[in-house]
Structure 1
């Protein structure tokens, strides 16, 4: 018998060793938004335990009281108890009301699109403080961070000052990903052709892990990055380092970076081409593509019909190869739209008279 206990104890050691390396960052975050989300989880669990614990206790109590060997009172004619009915219905109803109120308030307070009105418990955002804008692009399989205010960019690494609100603008190049820094805030999706937003703040200096929480293909497991919470001086030093050691991120460099790759190292870009993020968002980084926002603007005005669709183009060989279309038939698409007032408009007179 003692030997079996020793054996069980030895078998438990590897499990304890594995658990000792766990870092429950979700329950011990370093950002105010994540801390409020942690508190929401705790209060929700407490409210639900008000029902769960009594049910578990009564399960064992009833099993013991009405066991076969017990001399418990049995009343086959019993059918109603007002007090029991009140307990059964009132307590769950109060819990549902409390959970509903908690959910309604937290849904509005923790809306990722809502600008921050505080940087911590009892600490409002200082007057005239502007958030740090970070434009995030989910690529295959790496993260690109653009800092429009600083004019820099980085791959698989970002930094932000402690206690300064951060405004994330997120999009993706091909498939949907989920942007998640557990120590900072909850996850939010990044999707191609769309922009989502997240407001957050980091309250403690340190190095934190960020990753994609939505499976996106072969390199998903290594789609991770480092988030550095630093002082204002540390952030200025980081920006200076990027500008000193980085290269230029123009449209050609972005198209090369956009190609799928795994285990991508940290890269820095000292300059960023004007309007690059907007072009990524609107799917028109290539010179021969019409921006999605322009197409939507034309559609919103009723479209241009056949006379406006003569300016067609096809993808060049480099783009076709990058997209894996070299073995597919060459297709044409509308490269731009023109109207009757444009000098290049040369629609046949018959079409013009019948259509416009």
Structure 2
């Protein structure tokens, strides 16, 4: 008896302490700072509540049935020949069917409304940022500002951002949980993702698709700034002495590295992003040597191509 009383007291204590323990937890998905994230949070909570309509009654009734029809309750009715109840059948089938229909309509609507490639309606025009996943870091290119960064991205608040996303290596996934929606980065593919930050702050971003030994360090910070703050950030990036182009700088940058530090490039080639895309669209991925020379899958560079033509002529 003492053991049972002890276990009951311990269970009650844990139940009372659960809200206190959960108060220390936080989730970026449930604390969004942008329009897309807020709509996704609403979808998650709505779907969760609808499912609880079924889950909670089942749990409560299971506990009540176990208590009422326990062996030590002589007042519980015993009906060994009971087999069917139309009212119970209607409730058991009707409520889940209604919830499924509501979830289906909700999913259909939000799947189109939250299409990652759908432009966001706002007072300001969308700004383009090109994001390229490398081993194991993120390259962000700003075509309008003519700058680029490694493992740091900044954007003005209340202005839609059109992320053009690709990969210079294996497949990764671009994700800023506080702003919502992840999308995969694949070599030779030009994906689009529209996001917007409605509050100033610094938010964590990362890849959510395992891509090798340095994956754990493939993180970045996203700064949501005022228009003046964003311009100050751009001016700071432009003070960097480094420049970047597909032939000069990018081959060394594309080499695998772990926990890459933040790096700024004040001058970036206009064609860099397209060059990265096209390097994987020739039928076979092309690799870059450190000197910027393209090599096919069989190791033929410019001189190799001439030798192949010469052999064909012979």
TM-score bracket, shorter-length normalisation: 0.7 to 0.9
- What is the Cα deviation at residue 319 of structure 1? 7.2
User: Please, what is the CA RMSD of the aligned residues?
Assistant: 3.5
Residue 261 (1) aligns with residue 251 (2) = no
TM-score (norm 1): 0.74
1:338-353 aligned within 5 A: none
Q: Using a 3 Å threshold, how does the CA distance of structure 1 residues 278 and 100 change in structure 2: closer, same or farther?
A: same
Residue 150 (1) aligns with residue 127 (2) = no
> d(CA) in 2 for partners of 1:188 and 1:159?
19
Q: Using a 3 Å threshold, how does the CA distance of structure 1 residues 17 and 227 change in structure 2: closer, same or farther?
A: farther
User: Quick check: 1:169–1:197 contact (8 Å CA) kept in 2?
Assistant: yes
> d(CA) in 2 for partners of 1:49 and 1:171?
39
Residue 58 (1) aligns with residue 61 (2) = yes
The SS at the match of 2:58 is helix
> d(CA) in 2 for partners of 1:316 and 1:219?
21
The SS at the match of 2:155 is strand
The SS at the match of 1:245 is coil
Aligned length: 293
Residue 116 (1) aligns with residue 103 (2) = no
- What is the Cα deviation at residue 322 of structure 1? 11
> d(CA) in 2 for partners of 1:282 and 1:81?
67
Among 279, 283, 301, the alignment partner of 1:283 is: 279
Residue 243 (1) aligns with residue 238 (2) = yes
Cα offsets for 1:47-78 (capped at 9, x unmatched): 00000000001101111111112232222222
User: Quick check: 1:170–1:190 contact (8 Å CA) kept in 2?
Assistant: yes
Aligned to 1:73: 77
> d(CA) in 1 for partners of 2:62 and 2:288?
71
> d(CA) in 2 for partners of 1:259 and 1:47?
48
Aligned to 1:121: none
> d(CA) in 2 for partners of 1:79 and 1:22?
47
Q: Using a 3 Å threshold, how does the CA distance of structure 1 residues 246 and 132 change in structure 2: closer, same or farther?
A: farther
> d(CA) in 2 for partners of 1:157 and 1:223?
11
The SS at the match of 1:185 is coil
- What is the Cα deviation at residue 318 of structure 1? 4.9
Among 20, 23, 28, the alignment partner of 1:25 is: 28
- What is the Cα deviation at residue 202 of structure 1? 0.1
> d(CA) in 2 for partners of 1:80 and 1:19?
43
Aligned to 1:271: 267
The SS at the match of 1:244 is coil
TM-score (norm 2): 0.83
Among 163, 168, 172, the alignment partner of 1:173 is: 168
Q: Using a 3 Å threshold, how does the CA distance of structure 1 residues 33 and 102 change in structure 2: closer, same or farther?
A: same
- Any unmatched runs of 5+ in structure 2? 8-17
Aligned to 2:13: none
The SS at the match of 1:100 is helix
Aligned to 2:40: 37
User: Quick check: 1:246–1:267 contact (8 Å CA) kept in 2?
Assistant: no
Q: Using a 3 Å threshold, how does the CA distance of structure 1 residues 190 and 315 change in structure 2: closer, same or farther?
A: closer
1:73-112 aligned within 5 A: 73-112=77-116
- What is the Cα deviation at residue 274 of structure 1? 2.5
1:5-24 aligned within 5 A: 22-24=25-27
